[in-house]
Structure formats: C-alpha cells, structure tokens
Chains A and B, each alone.
Chain A
Amino acid sequence: MRRYSKAPSNRSHSGVIRLDKSTNIDQLVEQFKDLPGGLMPLLHAVKHTVGFIPDESVSQIAKGFNLSRAEVHGVISFYHDFNTSPVGQHTVQICRAEACQSMGSRRIETHAKKSLGIEYGETTEDGRVTLQPVYCLGNCACSPSIRIDDDIHARVSAESFDQLMSELCAPATDNAGAKR
C-alpha cells in the first residue's frame, strides 16, 4: 500500500528562510508574497514543507500573489521540480545526460526501472522510492551519477545501485543521516 501522507524528511530546499514543518501554506504565502520574484522561492518552500505542490494550494497562492490561478498553474507545470502529487520517502534521480550516457547510464536506467519495478515518475509500492530522470548533476568527470535526496553518488554500477537501494530500504537505518 502506498504511504502518501508522509512528507520527505531530509530535503534542504529551504532557501534563506528556515521553515518549520508545521507552517501552513497561508503562512508561507504571507512570508513570500512581498519578496520580489517570490513565487519560485514560495513553491520550493511549499514543496519542502508538504512534499509536493497540492492542487488545493493554487487558489491560496494566486490570491496571495495577486495572480490568476492559471498563471500559478502555468508556473508550477513549467518546472520539473514542482511535482503536484506526493512522492516517496526518497527521491532517486538518474542522470540521463550525455556524459553519463558515455559511461553506460542507459544500462543503469534500465536496471533501476527493472529492479524497482517502476517507470520514471512513479513510486514503489511500499512508498519508499520515487524514480525521476535528471539532466546533469555536474558530476560528469566521474559518471554515471545518481542523486538520492540531496546526496550525489558517482561511478554508479548496477551492483552499487542495488546496494544503495538496499540501504534505503533497510528498516533500521531510516534516519537519513546514514551517509556514505
């Protein structure tokens, strides 16, 4: 069964302003509405707090920023980062760009989809992992690269991918501080 209610616990897209998990969207809107170009930082903050941009928030945001709902929806839908439905506890991104391709990322991509049993944009049944494509993590001298939440991993092979996934899925080490 999918566990949609749990927000990811280890994101750092907080921007300059530190956010409290209990902050509601109205408070966030209030915080960012007068900041020049504040919509992007607001959307990052909503994503950080809730884990995604809920459809219900669009009208609240539109009102606060004095925009139409269509304009807010337009911004959200333009950017890959602003998912509008919940993601798993961990987001795993596989780099699809050329440098990683030259080092066999297409094989990693196929392997990841097969071993997790999901396609890009989907979440595993247990709600642990959402798989996404990414175009370059800036780690191109040591490709292929993947990103798990805010940690980037270099020279990934099918074996090391499985190892990283098993660390994510081990029940006892669900403390996000389990860095390499």
Chain B
Amino acid sequence: MNMRFFVPQDTTALALGSNSVASMLAGELKERGLNDEIIRNGSRGMFWLEPLLEVEYGDSRLAFGPVTPSDVSSILDCLSSLEKNTKSANHPLHLGEVDEIDYLARQQRLTFSRAGVGDPLCIKNYQNLAGFTGLARAVKLESQEVVDQLKDSGLRGRGGAAFPAGIKWQTVLDTPGEQKYIVCNADEGDSGTFADRLLMEADPYQLIEGMAIAGLAVGANQGYIYLRSEYPVAHKILNQAIERATEAGFLGENICNSSSDFFLEVRLGAGAYICGEETSLLESLEGKRGMVRAKPPLPAIEGLFGKPTVVNNVLTLGAAASILEQGSETYKDFGMGRSRGTLAVQLAGNVKRGGVIELAFGVTLREVVEGFGDGTYSGRPIRAIQMGGPLGAFLPESQWDTPLDYEAFAAIKAMIGHGGIVVFDDTVDMAAQARFAMEFCAVESCGKCTPCRIGATRGVEVIDRIVKNQDRDNNLILLTDLCDTMELGSLCAMGGMTPFPVRSALTYFAEDFGGESPREN
C-alpha cells in the first residue's frame, strides 16, 4: 500500500519554502521508483512547524516539521523501514501523529476542523468531512428558520465589532427588496491576524457554503468577497473554488435544487486599510473612494448599491456553515457569558510558537500566550501584548489574566477585535509604538472626519515633543485632549480607537516617554 504525502501550500508555508520541499520530495520519490501521491493541503495553522510534512500510511498520519529540502531524503529513509499503522518514526523532525500534537490537540476546532486535512480545492474531500451538509439543511428550512438557527447560536460578528450576526441577518430578511446582497469582508488588515486568510486558503468551500446559506436565509442572490490585494494566494484559491463550486451546483442558478440562485464573485481591494470598515468597504465595492459612510442608514437596510446587505467577516460566515451543520445548541455550548462559540486566536509577533489557535471563549490571554506560545522567539521576557490589531490597547503583564470575552476586554478599555495577539519582548520602545499608532492612522485615514484626518498627524507631532521633553506637561495634556477628541468625534473605529494603543502605552509604559512619569490626567 502506498503512502500519501501532504505538503501545505498556504501563504506562510510557501513563505517558508514549502514549494521547494514539495519539488524535492517529488524528485526523491521518482528517483526511488516510488509513485506515492503528493497532496498540497492547506496548513493546520501551526505556523512555527511549517513547512509541516505529513505522511498518511494506513490509519496513521505522521507529522514532520519544520522540514527543509535537505531533510526530505532522510525522512524517506526513515519511512522506508516503517510498519504500516505505526504511530512513531525514528527521525529528529518527527512530531508524532499530527492530531496528537499538543498545540492542536488542546484546541476546540469548529471553524478550522478541516484546515490542513486535505486539498482545499477538492470538493469530494470537503464533503467527506461533512462539508455542504449545512447548506443542504438550510435548503430544507424556511428563511426564518435559518436565521433563527443563527440567532440561537449566539454567534457574534468575528470581524471585531462583535455585533450579533443573527440580528443582522434578521434585519436584512425583514427589509423588503427585490435585490439583496451578501458581502464577505475579507479585508483582514489588522497586523497579527491571519485566520481569515487561513480559512480561505485551507478551507475555501466553508466560506462559500456560509455565504450561500446567508443568501438563502435573507433572500439574496448575489455575493461578493471583498479580498485584500495583499493576499495573492487566497485570491487564486478562492477563484478556483468558486469555479468548481459553481460547476458542482453549489453556486449559480438553482443551487442544490432549491430553486434559489446564488452567484459569487471575488473583488480585490487595493491596499487601503480603511476598507476593512464595512461602509468604506461598500463604497469601494461600488467603485468609489473608500470613504466611511455615516450610520444610519445601516448597511442591512441600505447597503451595497443602496440595497439591503449582509456584511459579515470570513469567520462569521464560516461559523454559520458549522452552525447549520451541527446545530445552534452545539455551537452555543462553547464559550462564556455573552461570548458564545469559539474564537480563532492568532498568536503572532515575537513568539516562539505562533499560529491559529481556535478555543472556546473564556481562556485567559496568559494561558494562550504562555501555554501555546511558549515565550518569545528572541528568548527575552515579554513586555507588552497588543490584542485586536493596530487599534487595540497595549496590555501590561497585570492585564494578561483577563479572560478572552468581549465584555471582559471592553471593561479594561481593550478589545478582542478579530483575535490577533502581537507579542513584544523587552526591547520594545513603547513611545515609538504609540507614535506608530498615530502615524498609521494618518496614512490610512479616509479623511472624512477632521479628528482622524488631522488629529493623527498632530498626534505624531505631540508625541515627538513629549519624547524630546519639550514643554512636557502641556504636551501631555494636549495629547490626552487630542485622544478625547478623536475618540468622541470620529465617525468610525479608525479615528475613534487609535487613541487606545496610545493611551495604554502612555499609562502602562510611561517610562518610555522620557522625562518623569506623566501625571494622571
């Protein structure tokens, strides 16, 4: 019996050289006269182990990583003497059975249960792993029943704002209109986040299924995935997946014989961070400058081209597919308080073992960073953690025991956002980070409202003066005042939350700002 080899092809694995591992493997197999199959799977999300080579032999699936091309030959040597169904191999890079790797075994994978298992573009593989059963179920239900499933699950938007997804769907369902749209926000611009990318690259049909379900639920026949242009690999995979799903009857006219149509298209962004904000995204999809719109009207009532529109994050739509497949009760059983289900935490930055970690809400930040991350990549002590992207607060050690729960984070003026965690070691200059937060806002502001457009530029200047100790006390007052103005006077989260990293840096890491400690203000 032959072995089957799996070499990932997601962005991170490719960036770490998985293509050369795959071609070395193909060459070695040929040289040895073996005709074992090589499958280019998606990643499991254990990025510190990439390129992760997996070998299926009988019932076992052995993992080796991180593999370089020069390791391939010795791995094949080791495999040649292996008994079928064995759980272990004698090789320094051998990690045991892939499912039993601690990092993976300790997760509660719902959305990412299929990631890395097989060829992401193989529909048969997707169906073998319960794919498209959620859609099949949705086809048999009334629209209202589908929306009820989502409401009962307690799912909240995973893009960052955490708005109850079922209520959004209900609003679109209840708004009369011939034409409605489903828009997937795949403009994952926050630094430290890559879960959307992983889902699109490793399990694209789940997103497609979630969008088709949303279409059936609210009566929309057209969907758009607004994808950032920084994701060329995801772009290619999504386009191929849409083509195949259309051929197989899961997209297009009369999907799954439901007598409903659902057409889906990928649209590329063009490098503007602000287009991750939903109204700016809609403007961009319409072919305009990505300027933020005032709300109301809500996009659910007047969204894309003025029509009722569901705008959901990739992971929200992915979760919708699992909820329809497994039932709302199963999903709701995970989590704490009003944060139900699982959160795809993305551990990034200066960390030894970074990756996607899907866990029920409720674990603490420390458990994730220390338990999964195993310290910094540099080996130095952790000094600060930024959670929730560039608009999230910098957290000092005293706050690391906060449980991952939307309300618990809001209570400490921080946010979970899209679940990105960026770890900094003790060499970080927190004044430079605060300055960068303002600088980034200045570069990426859409320019619609003054506090954000001008405040960010003034913020950089004020921080520079504080660090240089110029008229320090007055400039500290000015910075606090500026932060108040931005928070209270901006239309969207860009200007409204840029003060979060700035204030937290100033409050908890005051020693980096030169002079004496800033006074409480």
B425 touches A40 (CB 8 A): no
Q: For the complex, what is the distance from the CA of A134 to the CA of B232, rounded to whole Å?
A: 14
Most buried by B among A15, A16, A140: A140
A153 touches B287 (CB 8 A): no
Which of chain B's residues have a CB closer than 8 A to the CB of A153? 15
Instruction: Tell whether A171 is near chain B: CB-to-CB under 8 Å.
Output: no
B287 touches A75 (CB 8 A): yes
Which of chain B's residues have a CB closer than 8 A to the CB of A136? 189-191, 193, 230
Which of chain B's residues have a CB closer than 8 A to the CB of A38? 287
Q: A44-B268, A79-B272, A140-B348 are in contact. Are A145 and B436 (CB under 8 A)?
A: no
Q: A44-B270, A134-B271, A141-B12 are in contact. Are A97 and B390 (CB under 8 A)?
A: yes
Q: A136-B191, A140-B192 are in contact. Are A39 and B287 (CB under 8 A)?
A: yes
Contact digits for A1-30, partner B, Cβ 8 Å, 1 yes 0 no:
000000000001101100000000000000
Q: A40-B267, A135-B189 are in contact. Are A102 and B12 (CB under 8 A)?
A: no
Q: Which residue of B lies closest to A93 (CB)?
A: B230
- CB B293 to nearest CB in A, in angstroms, measures 15
Q: Which residue of B lies closest to A67 (CB)?
A: B287
Instruction: Tell whether B48 is near chain A: CB-to-CB under 8 Å.
Output: yes
**Considering the complex, which residues of chain B in the window 146-181 have a beta carbon less than 8 Å from any beta carbon of chain A?**
none
B48 touches A142 (CB 8 A): yes
**Considering the complex, which residues of chain B in the window 47-92 have a beta carbon less than 8 Å from any beta carbon of chain A?**
47-48, 50
- CB B179 to nearest CB in A, in angstroms, measures 10
Instruction: Tell whether A56 is near chain B: CB-to-CB under 8 Å.
Output: no
Instruction: Tell whether A92 is near chain B: CB-to-CB under 8 Å.
Output: no
Q: For the complex, what is the distance from the CA of A111 to the CA of B348, rounded to whole Å?
A: 23
A142 touches B354 (CB 8 A): yes
Contact digits for A141-159, partner B, Cβ 8 Å, 1 yes 0 no:
1110101001111110000
- CB A164 to nearest CB in B, in angstroms, measures 12
Instruction: Tell whether A124 is near chain B: CB-to-CB under 8 Å.
Output: no
A135 touches B444 (CB 8 A): yes
Q: For the complex, what is the distance from the CA of A38 to the CA of B125, rounded to whole Å?
A: 35
Q: For the complex, what is the distance from the CA of A119 to the CA of B233, rounded to whole Å?
A: 28
Which of chain A's residues have a CB closer than 8 A to the CB of B290? 78-79
Contact digits for B423-459, partner A, Cβ 8 Å, 1 yes 0 no:
1110010000100100010011010000000000000
**Which of A39, A80, A140 is B422 in contact with, Cβ under 8 Å?**
A140
**Considering the complex, which residues of chain A in the window 121-176 have a beta carbon less than 8 Å from any beta carbon of chain B?**
134-143, 145, 147, 150-155
- CB B92 to nearest CB in A, in angstroms, measures 20
Instruction: Tell whether B510 is near chain A: CB-to-CB under 8 Å.
Output: no
- CB B56 to nearest CB in A, in angstroms, measures 25
- A12-B235, A152-B232, A152-B233 given. 6 additional CB < 8 A pairs? A37-B285, A79-B290, A101-B433, A134-B230, A140-B192, A141-B47
Residues of A at under 8 Å CB distance from B? 12-13, 15-16, 36-41, 43-44, 65, 74-75, 78-82, 97-103, 134-143, 145, 147, 150-155, 179-180
- Among all A-B residue pairs, the 9 with the closest Cβ atoms: A141-B354, A39-B287, A97-B191, A80-B271, A79-B270, A140-B348, A154-B15, A81-B270, A141-B47
